[in-house]
Chains A and B, each alone.
Chain A
Amino acid sequence: MAVISQDLSPLWISLATSATATLLTMIAGISAAAWRQRRTGLLSPIVDAVFLLPLVLPPTVVGFALLLLFGRNGPLGKLLLRFGATVVFSWPATVIAAAVVSFPLMYLTSRAALDQVDSHFLQAARTLGATEWRIFRRVALPLAWPGVLAGAILSFARAMGEFGATLMVAGNIPGRTETIPIAIYFAVEADDMRAAVRWSVIELGLSFVLLAALYYWTHAASSGRARWAARRGL
């Protein structure tokens, strides 16, 4: 029994890491998207480039940057050390790595979703006396929600598959930072093909379910609208 529960720990770690990372990434991604939507200055292309870097950089580079940032001599690492916390090679490090890597997907999809909201709704809300924060909370975000949720599913899937950055910044500590992709890598390394296949199949199944859910989500929403239109004879 002990063997089995130890065996399953990469699954729980992966799920917990991805869920936490998605939550963080949603807050950061939606805020960044909303903020960027309002500000169009000279610097905005640069800001966009910074936001999108984790999408195109090799994960090892992201991981290395995080290591420098959160390491004992890194600026954030030093700050955290003052509160007696070290992040590197601990579970929070897996969350940070996954969140940073999946952030661009969340940012891009929520920005597209917010941009698609008809500006007349926002203007109507303005003439009705609503503050910008209320308009965002009650009008823009709810109308953009299907797109935002699609972004969250993509981010979760990306977090589940995160490998390079996690290995750099969190290492491979079984039961603490060993996620499924890392378990697969080290299983192959140790010539344990059965374990590698098992975890690969699980990863494949999870990713498939997530993408199917995404497809269903975006399509069910639009075909629901089509059904309604058909009923109204439009």
Chain B
Amino acid sequence: MSLEVQIEMRLPDYTLSAAFRAGDAPLSILGPSAAGKTMTLRAIAGLERPSRGRVVLNGRILFDSEQRIDIPARHRRVAMLFQHYALFPHMTAAANIVFGLEDLPATERAARLERIVSQTHLDGLQNRYPRELSGGEQQRVALARALVTEPEALLLDEPLSALDTHLRAQIEYELLRTFQLYRGATLMVTHNVAEAYRLGTNLLVLSKGRIAAFGAKQEVFARPASLEVARLTGCKNFSRARAIGPHEIEAIDWACRLQTAQEVPAVTVGGELRAGIRAHHVLFVEPEALSRSAGAAAPENTFPAWLVRTSETPFGVTIYLRLRAAGEAPAETSGDYDLQVEVSQQDWRRIKDRPQPWQVSLPADSVFVMGE
């Protein structure tokens, strides 16, 4: 299974230009709104015509501007799950599902309907109209309708965004199982970082019509190629930086030196380095650990930090910290902070009454360094 996409498309605000390949492994396309994500899917499905490029699915040319090939959507064998599902409101669930099977003999149609209904757990709902189904059921019908035609590629546009929060986890799990069973290229568009990570094996980050990152999701998250990718994948902490050694930098905004597991990338003259660390990766060092070993075995990159403010979420606390060299307390000021750290409520209770400054560690293997 392979889908090759290489498209260029003039849009009102920018030119969308994307080239990538997708195989059996589900690909998440992540990006802010209006980054060109949905447009990319629509171009693959044949609902929009790119200005230039090529789309090839399993060796079949769906679109090629040079050879003037543009297979109409109905012959592409590319199924699309729309953001709001687009179930035909005047047809029952069953009629919706078999809509794409009209060329098959009636017996085959009935057999396929029965199979997909049990696969997607829609038994008993066949005669309901879309308006009589819950959001999750509507999505299952839309998925069944798309999969029953045995498409060679499945495109999903923000599949979870139309659902209530309490349904999402369950539906996301169902989607994941569907992805595992489905043989074909799977592309899912989302603006939610966590969803993109959980549902995709590979990750493509789109920003303003350009591919900012593309690769295995772990790789993209651990070593963002640019500030933009780090931001789009949810990183909150950045500092300007200067190289000191192959594995050491000076973080200018944080006023400290950091060891890095990653090799510090070379920068062009006048270029700037940026260091970053995710809010979940900053650690609080137990005071006993420090005093017992008299500093010798203290974790690398440990610095004193003062609390600026906190913000509570239902299950955790976001702590805003200011870093300073030892002994030097920060001036009482504007609420500026250097680091944003996520901890659990439980950890917060443990930390909050300790005397300040607290000791925080920026583990070398969590710090990443990017060229501008």
Q: Interface residues, chain A, CB within 8 Å of chain B? A: 118, 120-121, 123-131, 134, 138-139, 142-143, 228, 232
Interface contacts beyond A120-B86, A124-B86, A127-B78: sample of 16 additional A-B pairs, CB < 8 Å, sorted by A: A118-B86, A120-B84, A123-B45, A123-B73, A123-B80, A123-B82, A124-B80, A125-B88, A127-B45, A127-B79, A128-B99, A128-B149, A130-B100, A134-B102, A142-B90, A143-B90
Residue positions of B touching A, CB distance < 8 A: 45-47, 72-76, 78-80, 82, 84, 86, 88-90, 99-100, 102-103, 131, 145-146, 149
Whole-angstrom CA separation of A178 from B50 in the bound complex: 60
Q: How far is the CA of A143 from the CA of B88 in the complex (A)?
A: 9
Provide the residues of chain B in CB contact with A121, threshold 8 Å. Answer: 86, 88
Main secondary structure of the interface of A (DSSP, over half): helix
Task: Give chain B nearest CB distance to A224 CB in angstroms.
Answer: 11
Cβ–Cβ < 8 Å partners of A228 in chain B = 131
A123→B100 contact, CB < 8 A: no
Cβ-defined contact, B89 with A143, below 8 A: yes
A-B contact count (CB 8 A): 60
A10 to chain B, nearest CB (A): 40
Structural contact, A127 and B73, CB atoms closer than 8 A: yes
A-B contact pairs, 14 of them (CB 8 A): A123-B80, A123-B82, A124-B80, A124-B88, A125-B88, A126-B74, A127-B73, A127-B78, A127-B79, A128-B79, A128-B145, A128-B146, A129-B74, A130-B99
Contact (A129, B100) CB under 8 Å given A120-B82, A123-B73:
yes
Min distance, Cβ A95 to any Cβ of chain B, angstroms: 32
Cross-chain contact B74 with A130 (CB below 8 angstroms): yes
How far is B107's CA from A221's CA once the two chains are assembled, in angstroms?
Answer: 36
Residue of A nearest to B76 (CB): A127
Residues of B with C-beta under 8 A to A143: 88-90
Most buried by A among B75, B86, B146: B86
Question: Least Cβ distance of A232 to chain B in Å?
Answer: 8
Q: Check B100 against A128 for contact (C-beta < 8 Å).
A: yes
| Complex Cα gap A181–B47 (Å) | 52
A228 → B minimal CB distance (Å) = 6
Contact present for A123 and B74 (CB under 8 Å): no
For residue A131, which residue of chain B has the nearest CB?
Answer: B74
The residue of chain B having its C-beta at the shortest distance from the C-beta of A145 within the complex is B90
Nearest chain-A residue to B155 (Cβ)?
A127
Q: Which 3 A-B pairs have the closest CB atoms?
A: A128-B100, A124-B86, A120-B86
Most buried by B among A120, A127, A138: A127
- A120 to chain B minimum Cβ distance, whole angstroms, is 4
A77 to B73, CA, bound (A): 46
Docked pose: A120 CA to B78 CA in angstroms? 16
Complex Cα spacing A126 to B72, Å: 8
Closest approach, in angstroms, between the C-beta of A146 and any C-beta of chain B? 11
A56 CB → nearest B CB, Å: 35
Q: Is the CB of B75 within 8 A of A129?
A: yes
Instruction: State in angstroms the CA–CA spacing of A65 and B68 once bound together.
Output: 47
Q: Which of B46, B47, B74, B90 has the most CB of A within 10 A?
A: B74
Q: Provide the residues of chain A in CB contact with B131, threshold 8 Å.
A: 228, 232
Give the distance in Å from the alpha carbon of A138 to the alpha carbon of B82 in the complex. 19
Collect the chain B residues with CB atoms within 8 Å of residue A138's CB. 88, 99
| Chain A hits for B146, CB < 8 A | 127-128
CB of B358, distance to nearest CB on chain A (Å): 48
A126 CB to nearest B CB, Å = 4
- Bound: A19/B47 CA distance, A: 40
Quick one: closest B residue to A139, CB to CB? B88
Give Cα A139–Cα B90 distance, bound, in whole angstroms. 8
Residues of A within 8 A of B103 (CB): 129
The reply to whether A127 and B47 form a contact with Cβ atoms under 8 Å apart is yes
Least distance between B341 CB and chain A CB atoms (Å): 41
Smallest Cβ-Cβ distance to B145: which chain A residue: A128
